[in-house]
């Protein structure tokens, strides 16, 4: 077959280019198809439409749906890679096969060789390089790789599945076997590649469920035979330096390993449940989790307010929000701004999430009496300039944090409240006297994390009347500076989540922050001293230019960054 000759005959290339391509084929050993595409002579679709006519094989364009695992296994990954052919579908005893080189005798022989046992009738289709590569990627999936490891475990144990359930073999032999090591590594690698923040390994009565938290949502990624649960847990315990033979009480640990060329930290927590031990692994990728302050997604107004607070010689900066809302990440980004050679930064955390060069980080150990309060007392003897306390949990810690801020230290900490305006009443509930708050509290940052729309497949739509009313109601009391560039009088458009291969058909990719930033002002001081009700604090805060998280979220909806459903999911109180 001569594709180059055909292109020359059609006048698409001249004789000089034809001779050049022929010479390159001899020198490089590359195929006509590869050289034509490398030189951008015609598009891939046009090239393969031409080839389909020449070899008399129908061209099949693949949809963006995955080939089922049981079909994929009918041609081995090695054969698919070597001979550029992949299974596409199975109908009774007919197997559809996509081939880049159906005219190649070696590919035809390889297909016949793989057909010795199954005796399939083949339907051959021509497919493009792009479609081939999309299917080849599916061979490298979590399900396939763990299935291979399971088969190896079964072979190593000579088919004795009961052996995997015994505690003694698990600790002495199985955890040292390569298949188990490989299986755990595959799970960790797929979590990193899928940008998961957490891995949940959960035993049920009949199977072991592996769930990944991606963009804040838990997804069931894999289930395994319950028989491998003890060996996987034991392997993780070895990595995290935990007691392998202790499964009656929770344990905490951490480990680091290099995955895809990056050093990644993992925090491990075990928890005894009805069917065994549940393991939760937090993925701590510093390249993803530690972002510079100016890349956190704060609005210009919020950046200005926070920077002003950071320049003050002392005072308290609080980050609030529920678990998993990114409070600690925000504090780390602020701490990196304050971390200078001339400054002594000391932290007390539970646990230490990321290691930061130049910062003295300490982890509390409540079982031996080393609490936040006790740690804070000791920190004050370390001549600190900046102190970070992981969380204000009780009255004693709250009192010590206020004292530290009063005595000339910059103090960073977190508090669990639903909004920035709820922080001041919460501090008063914890025993802090109202007159101490104005002189210590500099800024409060409340936050949530929402899923961002996939920018490749998002769909522009006109909202229905209910959504339109929701948007206009939320934005009705925006501060003047935010209304300046906003025009709701004309046609209103928002975006919906659609789903594509890039976002794994969820419609969402990545996460965004929603922030409320409250700073101390003279008017706010009067409210705190006279009547620190949350509703009155909110009025003053909005008057000074603070956007609520819902308002900031709706503005992001209008900018095409997220959806109304996502804002309601994250901000609406249940």
Phi, psi angle pair for 341, to nearest 5°: -60, -30
Q: 203 with 229: CB under 8 angstroms?
A: yes
Cα–Cα distance between 394 and 400 in angstroms, integer?
A: 10
Cα–Cα distance between 326 and 275 in angstroms, integer?
A: 32
| Nearest CA among 571, 570, 516, 553 for reference residue 215 | 570
Answer yes or no: CATH 3.40.50.300 is held by domain 43-138: no
Residue 259: the pLDDT is 84
Q: 297 with 513: CB under 8 angstroms?
A: yes
R_g of the chain computed on alpha carbons: 30
Cβ neighbours around 273 below 10 Å, total: 11
Residue 99: the pLDDT is 94
Give me the DSSP letters along 203-263: E-SSEEEEEEEETTEEEEEEEEEGGGHHHHHHHHHHHTT--TT--SS-EEEEEEEEETTEE
Cβ neighbours around 503 below 10 Å, total: 22
| Nearest CA among 198, 329, 172, 341 for reference residue 266 | 198
Q: Is 98 helix (H, G, I), strand (E, B) or coil?
A: strand
Alpha-carbon distances, residue 154 vs 165, 179, 276 (angstroms) = 13, 9, 21
359-363 and 345-349 as β-strands: parallel, antiparallel, unpaired? parallel
Residue 477: the pLDDT is 81
Q: What angle do CA 553, 558, 562 make, to 5 degrees?
A: 55
Q: 320 with 535: CB under 8 angstroms?
A: no
In this structure, the dihedral spanned by the alpha carbons of residues 119, 120, 121 and 122, taken in order and rounded to 10 degrees, is: -130
- Domains of the chain, residue spans: 43-138, 142-285, 290-451+511-549
Cα–Cα distance between 243 and 405 in angstroms, integer?
A: 40
Within the chain, what is the greatest distance between any pair of CA atoms?
90
386-389 and 508-519 as β-strands: parallel, antiparallel, unpaired? unpaired
Residue 142: the pLDDT is 66
Cα–Cα distance between 58 and 51 in angstroms, integer?
A: 10
Q: What is the DSSP letter of 457?
A: T
pLDDT tens for the 574 residues of the chain, in order: 588 888 888 889 898 888 899 888 888 888 999 999 988 899 999 999 999 999 999 999 887 566 777 788 788 777 888 889 999 988 888 889 999 999 888 888 888 776 666 678 889 999 999 889 888 877 767 667 777 777 776 665 544 433 333 333 333 333 444 688 888 988 998 888 888 999 999 999 888 999 999 888 888 888 888 988 998 999 999 999 999 989 999 999 999 888 878 888 999 999 999 989 999 999 988 776 677 777 788 888 899 999 999 999 999 999 998 888 888 889 999 998 999 989 999 999 988 888 888 899 999 888 898 999 999 999 989 999 999 998 998 899 999 999 999 999 999 999 988 899 999 999 999 999 999 999 999 999 999 999 999 988 898 899 888 898 898 888 888 877 777 767 776 778 899 888 877 787 788 888 889 999 999 999 999 999 999 999 999 999 988 889 999 999 999 999 899 999 999 988 876 4
Residue ranges in 326-407 assigned as alpha helix (H) = 327-338, 372-379, 395-406
Cα–Cα distance between 268 and 246 in angstroms, integer?
A: 15
Q: 303 with 433: CB under 8 angstroms?
A: no
Beta bridge partners of 361: 347
Q: 424 with 528: CB under 8 angstroms?
A: yes
| Nearest CA among 80, 84, 83 for reference residue 72 | 80
Cα–Cα distance between 368 and 305 in angstroms, integer?
A: 40
Q: In CATH, what number does 290-451+511-549 get?
A: 3.40.50.300
Cα–Cα distance between 448 and 207 in angstroms, integer?
A: 34
Residue 510: the pLDDT is 87
Distance of CA 114 to the CA centre of its chain: 39
Beta bridge partners of 461: 494
Alpha-carbon distances, residue 270 vs 46, 275, 493 (angstroms) = 56, 13, 47
pLDDT in tens, 316-363: 999 998 888 888 889 999 998 999 989 999 999 988 888 888 899 999
Return the CATH architecture of domain 142-285: 2-Layer Sandwich (3.30)
Q: Is 406 helix (H, G, I), strand (E, B) or coil?
A: helix
| Nearest CA among 97, 90, 151, 93 for reference residue 124 | 97
Torsion-angle region of 376 (φ positive above 0: left; ψ -120 to 50: alpha; else: beta): alpha
Cα–Cα distance between 473 and 486 in angstroms, integer?
A: 14
Peptide bond into 351 cis (omega under 30): yes
Distance of CA 316 to the CA centre of its chain: 31
Torsion-angle region of 156 (φ positive above 0: left; ψ -120 to 50: alpha; else: beta): alpha
Distance of CA 436 to the CA centre of its chain: 40
Helices 534-543, 522-530: axis angle to 10 degrees equals: 170
Cα–Cα distance between 296 and 336 in angstroms, integer?
A: 13
Beta bridge partners of 386: 345, 410
pLDDT in tens, 420-456: 999 999 999 999 999 999 999 999 999 999 999 998 8
């Amino acid at each position: 077959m001569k594709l180059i000759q055909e292109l020359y005959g059609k006048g698409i290339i001249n004789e000089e280019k034809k001779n050049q391509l022929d010479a390159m084929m001899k020198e490089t050993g590359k195929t006509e198809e590869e050289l034509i595409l490398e030189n951008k002579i015609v598009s891939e679709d046009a090239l393969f439409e031409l080839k389909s006519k020449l070899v008399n094989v129908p061209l099949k364009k693949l949809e963006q749906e995955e080939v089922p695992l049981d079909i994929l296994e009918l041609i081995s990954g090695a054969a698919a890679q070597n001979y550029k052919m992949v299974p596409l579908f199975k109908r009774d005893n007919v197997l559809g096969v996509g081939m880049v080189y159906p005219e190649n005798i070696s590919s035809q022989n390889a297909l016949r060789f793989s057909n010795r046992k199954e005796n399939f009738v083949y339907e051959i289709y021509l497919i493009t390089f792009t479609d081939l590569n999309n299917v080849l990627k599916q061979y490298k999936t979590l399900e396939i790789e763990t299935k291979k490891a399971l088969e190896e475990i079964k072979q190593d144990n000579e088919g004795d599945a009961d052996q995997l359930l015994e505690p003694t073999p698990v600790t002495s032999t199985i955890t040292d076997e390569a298949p188990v090591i490989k299986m755990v590594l595959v799970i960790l690698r797929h979590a990193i590649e899928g940008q998961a923040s957490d891995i949940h390994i959960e035993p049920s009565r009949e199977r072991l469920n592996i769930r990944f938290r991606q963009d804040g949502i838990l997804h069931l990624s894999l289930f395994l035979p319950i028989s491998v649960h003890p060996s996987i847990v034991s392997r993780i315990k070895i990595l995290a330096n935990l007691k392998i033979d202790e499964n009656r009480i929770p344990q905490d640990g951490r480990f680091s390993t290099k995955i895809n060329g990056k050093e990644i930290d993992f925090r491990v927590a075990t928890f005894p449940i009805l069917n065994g031990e549940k393991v939760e692994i937090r993925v701590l990728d510093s390249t993803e989790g530690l972002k510079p302050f100016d890349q956190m997604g704060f609005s210009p107004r919020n950046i200005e307010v926070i920077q002003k607070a950071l320049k003050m010689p002392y005072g308290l900066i609080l980050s609030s929000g529920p678990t998993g809302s990114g409070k600690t990440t925000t504090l780390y980004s602020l701490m990196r701004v304050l971390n200078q050679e001339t400054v002594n930064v000391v932290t007390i955390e539970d646990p230490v999430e990321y290691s930061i060069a130049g910062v003295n980080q300490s982890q509390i150990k409540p079982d031996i009496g080393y609490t936040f309060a006790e740690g804070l007392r000791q920190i004050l003897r370390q001549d600190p300039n900046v102190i970070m306390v992981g969380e204000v949990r009780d009255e004693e810690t709250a009192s010590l944090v206020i004292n530290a801020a009063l005595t000339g230290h910059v103090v960073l900490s977190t508090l669990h409240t639903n909004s920035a305006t709820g922080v001041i009443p919460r501090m008063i509930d914890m025993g802090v006297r109202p007159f101490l708050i104005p002189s210590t509290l500099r800024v409060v940052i409340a936050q949530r994390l929402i899923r961002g729309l996939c920018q490749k497949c998002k769909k522009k739509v006109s909202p229905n009347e209910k959504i339109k009313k929701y948007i206009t109601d939320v934005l009705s009391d925006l501060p003047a500076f935010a209304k300046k560039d906003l025009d709701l009088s004309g046609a209103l458009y928002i975006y919906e989540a659609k789903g594509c291969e890039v976002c794994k058909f969820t419609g969402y990719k990545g996460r965004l922050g929603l922030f409320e930033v409250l700073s101390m002002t003279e008017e706010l001081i009067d409210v705190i001293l006279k009547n620190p009700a949350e509703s009155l604090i909110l009025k003053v805060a909005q008057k000074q230019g603070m956007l609520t998280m819902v308002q900031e979220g709706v503005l992001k909806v209008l900018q095409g960054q997220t959806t109304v459903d996502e804002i309601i999911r994250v901000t609406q109180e249940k």
